[in-house]
Structure 1
Amino acid sequence: MVPVVSAQQPVASTLLGFSAGNAKNELDLEKRFLAIPDPERMRVSMQLLSARPHHVGSPYDKQNAEWILAQYKQWGWDAHIETFQVLFPTPKTRVVEMGAFRAKLQEPAVASDPTSNQRDEQLPSYNAYSPDGDVTAPLIYVNYGLAEDYEQLARYGISVKGAIVIARYGHSWRGIKPKLAAEHGAIGCIIYSDPADDGYTYDDVFPKGPMRPSEGVQRGSVLDAPLYPGDPLTPGIGATADAKRLKREDAQSLAKIPVLPISYGDAQPLLAALQGPVAPENWRGALPLTYRIGPTAEKVHLELAFNWDLKPVYDVIATMRGSEEPDVWILRANHHDGWVNGADDPISGQVALLEEARAIGQLAASGWKPKRTIIYCSWDGEEPMLLGSTEWAEQHAEELREHAAVYINSDGNERGYLSAQGSHSLEPLVNEVARGIADPETKASVWQRLQAYELLHGTADERKDAASRSDLRIGALGSGSDFAAFLDHLGIASLDLGYSGEDDEGVYHSIYDDFYWYTHFADTTFVYGRALAQTNGTLVLRMAESDLLPYDFAALADTLHVYATEVKALLETLRTEAKERQAALSLNAYVLTNDPKHPMVAPPSLETPPFLNFAPLDNALASLDKASGDYAKARSDASGKALFSASLKALNAQLTQAERQLTSPQGLPRRPWMEHLIYAPGWYTGYGAKTLPGIREAIEERRYADADAQIVLVAQAIENEARFVELLTGELKAVARQ
Structure 2
Amino acid sequence: MTCGTHTKLAVLSSLLASSTLLAASPKTLGFFPSSRESEARFEAIMSATPTPERERKWLRWLTEEPHTAGTGQGKKTAEYVRDRLKEFGIVAELVPYEVFLNYPKQVSLRLLKPEPIELSLEERGDIRDKDSFSGDVFPGFHGYGASGKAAAQVIYVNYGTREDFEQLDGLGLSVVGKIALVRYGKVFRGLKVREAQERGAIGVIIFSDPADDGYMKGDVYPDGPMRPETALQRGSVQFLSEGPGDPTTPGWASVQGARRADATKLAGIPRIPSLPISYGEASKILKALAGQRVPEGWQGGLPFSYHVGPGPAEVEMSVTMDYAYRTIWNVIGTISGGVEKDRWVILGNHRDAWVYGAVDPNSGTASLLETARGLGEAMKAGWVPRRTLILASWDAEEYGLVGSTEWVEDHAAELSQKAVAYINLDSSVTGHALDAGGIPSLRDLFMGAAADVADVRTGKTVLDLWTQSEQSEWAKEAPVDLEHPQREFYPNLRLIGSGSDYTAFLDNLGIPALDFSFDGPYGVYHSVFDDITWMEKFGDPEYLYHVAASRLYGLLAMRLAGADLVPLRYVPYARRLQDDLDEIRRSAIIKRRMPRTPSSPAVKPPLDPDFTTVIESLRDFVTAAGELDDALDRVDSSGMADSGRLSRLNDSVARIEREFLDPAGLPRRPWFKHTIVAPGYTVGYGAWTFPGIVHALLDRDQAMFDAEAKKVAARLHAAASAARAAAALCGAP
1:248 matched to 2:263? The reply is yes
1:39 matched to 2:52? The reply is yes
Counterparts of 2:601 and 2:317, CA distance in 1:
34
Q: 1:728 to 1:105 in 2, by over 3 A?
A: same
Where in structure 2 are the equivalents of 1:517-532 lying within 5 Å?
Answer: 517-532=534-549
User: Residue 70 of structure 2 corresponds to which residue in structure 1?
Assistant: 57
Shift of 1:202: 1.7
Structure 1 SS opposite 2:123: coil
Is the 8 Å Cα contact of residues 498 and 684 (structure 2) preserved in structure 1? yes
Query: 1:418 aligned to 434, 458, 461, which one?
Result: 434
Where in structure 2 are the equivalents of 1:629-648 lying within 5 Å?
Answer: 629-638=626-635, 639-640=637-638, 642-648=640-646
Runs of at least 4 residues off by over 3 Å: 10-14, 454-464, 467-471, 602-611, 636-639
Is the 8 Å Cα contact of residues 353 and 398 (structure 2) preserved in structure 1? yes
Counterparts of 2:29 and 2:210, CA distance in 1:
46
Counterparts of 2:489 and 2:280, CA distance in 1:
49
Aligned AA (1:543): L
1:728 matched to 2:726? The reply is yes
Q: Higher mean Cα deviation, 218-227 or 54-63?
A: 54-63
Structure 1: gaps spanning 5 or more residues: 1-9, 586-601
Q: 1:278 to 1:405 in 2, by over 3 A?
A: same
Counterparts of 1:460 and 1:726, CA distance in 2:
37
Is the 8 Å Cα contact of residues 334 and 353 (structure 1) preserved in structure 2? yes
User: Residue 148 of structure 1 corresponds to which residue in structure 2?
Assistant: 163
Q: Higher mean Cα deviation, 228-237 or 650-659?
A: 650-659
User: Residue 358 of structure 2 corresponds to which residue in structure 1?
Assistant: 343
Q: 1:541 to 1:154 in 2, by over 3 A?
A: same
Counterparts of 2:551 and 2:304, CA distance in 1:
48
Q: 1:437 to 1:468 in 2, by over 3 A?
A: farther
Shift of 1:81: 0.6
Structure 2 SS opposite 1:529: helix
Is the 8 Å Cα contact of residues 478 and 689 (structure 1) preserved in structure 2? yes
User: Residue 91 of structure 1 corresponds to which residue in structure 2?
Assistant: 104
1:434 matched to 2:450? The reply is yes
Q: TM-score if structure 2 supplies the norm length?
A: 0.93
Counterparts of 2:726 and 2:474, CA distance in 1:
37
Counterparts of 1:174 and 1:439, CA distance in 2:
34
Is the 8 Å Cα contact of residues 630 and 729 (structure 1) preserved in structure 2? yes
1:541 matched to 2:558? The reply is yes
Structure 2: gaps spanning 5 or more residues: 1-21, 481-485
Q: 1:725 to 1:454 in 2, by over 3 A?
A: closer
Q: 1:636 to 1:462 in 2, by over 3 A?
A: same
Q: 1:463 to 1:17 in 2, by over 3 A?
A: farther
Is the 8 Å Cα contact of residues 12 and 23 (structure 1) preserved in structure 2? no
User: Residue 610 of structure 2 corresponds to which residue in structure 1?
Assistant: 613
Counterparts of 1:188 and 1:657, CA distance in 2:
45
Counterparts of 1:470 and 1:178, CA distance in 2:
38
Where in structure 2 are the equivalents of 1:56-455 lying within 5 Å?
Answer: 56-99=69-112, 100-119=116-135, 121-412=136-427, 413-455=429-471
Q: 1:537 to 1:296 in 2, by over 3 A?
A: same
1:492 matched to 2:490? The reply is no
Structure 1 SS opposite 2:196: helix
Is the 8 Å Cα contact of residues 571 and 626 (structure 2) preserved in structure 1? yes
Shift of 1:537: 1.0
Query: 2:658 aligned to 653, 657, 660, which one?
Result: 660
Aligned residues: 701
Shift of 1:304: 0.6
1:513 matched to 2:511? The reply is no
Shift of 1:299: 2.7
Aligned AA (1:62): K
Counterparts of 2:713 and 2:237, CA distance in 1:
33
Shift of 1:298: 4.8
Q: 1:298 to 1:109 in 2, by over 3 A?
A: closer
Aligned AA (2:630): K
Is the 8 Å Cα contact of residues 11 and 640 (structure 1) preserved in structure 2? no
Counterparts of 2:475 and 2:235, CA distance in 1:
30
Counterparts of 2:666 and 2:710, CA distance in 1:
13
Is the 8 Å Cα contact of residues 567 and 695 (structure 1) preserved in structure 2? no
Describe the superposition over 1:153-177 as per-residue Cα deviations: whole angstroms up to 9, x where unpaired: 1222111111011001111111111
Query: 2:497 aligned to 458, 478, 484, which one?
Result: 478
Counterparts of 1:187 and 1:534, CA distance in 2:
49
Describe the superposition over 1:168-202 as per-residue Cα deviations: whole angstroms up to 9, x where unpaired: 11111111111111111111100011111111112
1:627 matched to 2:646? The reply is no
Is the 8 Å Cα contact of residues 592 and 608 (structure 2) preserved in structure 1? no
Q: Higher mean Cα deviation, 413-422 or 642-651?
A: 642-651
Query: 1:576 aligned to 593, 615, 628, which one?
Result: 593
RMSD: 1.9
Structure 2 SS opposite 1:338: coil
Describe the superposition over 1:236-255 as per-residue Cα deviations: whole angstroms up to 9, x where unpaired: 11101111111112210111
Counterparts of 1:611 and 1:197, CA distance in 2:
36
Is the 8 Å Cα contact of residues 574 and 608 (structure 1) preserved in structure 2? no
Shift of 1:21: 3.3
Counterparts of 1:713 and 1:101, CA distance in 2:
55
Counterparts of 1:620 and 1:455, CA distance in 2:
29
Is the 8 Å Cα contact of residues 474 and 489 (structure 2) preserved in structure 1? no
Describe the superposition over 1:560-600 as per-residue Cα deviations: whole angstroms up to 9, x where unpaired: 111221221121021012xx346xx5xxxxxxxxxxxxxxx
Shift of 1:118: 1.6
Shift of 1:429: 1.3
Q: Higher mean Cα deviation, 270-279 or 17-26?
A: 17-26
Shift of 1:12: 4.2
Q: 1:189 to 1:609 in 2, by over 3 A?
A: closer
Describe the superposition over 1:518-556 as per-residue Cα deviations: whole angstroms up to 9, x where unpaired: 111101111111111111110111111111101111111
1:703 matched to 2:701? The reply is yes
Counterparts of 1:24 and 1:58, CA distance in 2:
47
Is the 8 Å Cα contact of residues 479 and 687 (structure 1) preserved in structure 2? yes
Counterparts of 1:478 and 1:128, CA distance in 2:
20
Aligned AA (2:469): Y
Q: Higher mean Cα deviation, 426-435 or 13-22?
A: 13-22
Counterparts of 2:36 and 2:23, CA distance in 1:
10
Shift of 1:55: 0.5
Q: Higher mean Cα deviation, 549-558 or 622-631?
A: 622-631
- Same amino acid, percent of matched pairs: 37
Aligned AA (1:149): D
Counterparts of 1:650 and 1:410, CA distance in 2:
30
Structure 2 SS opposite 1:318: strand
Structure 1 SS opposite 2:187: coil
Counterparts of 1:612 and 1:264, CA distance in 2:
43
Structure 2 SS opposite 1:686: coil
Is the 8 Å Cα contact of residues 155 and 310 (structure 2) preserved in structure 1? yes
Structure 2 SS opposite 1:283: coil
Counterparts of 1:569 and 1:262, CA distance in 2:
39
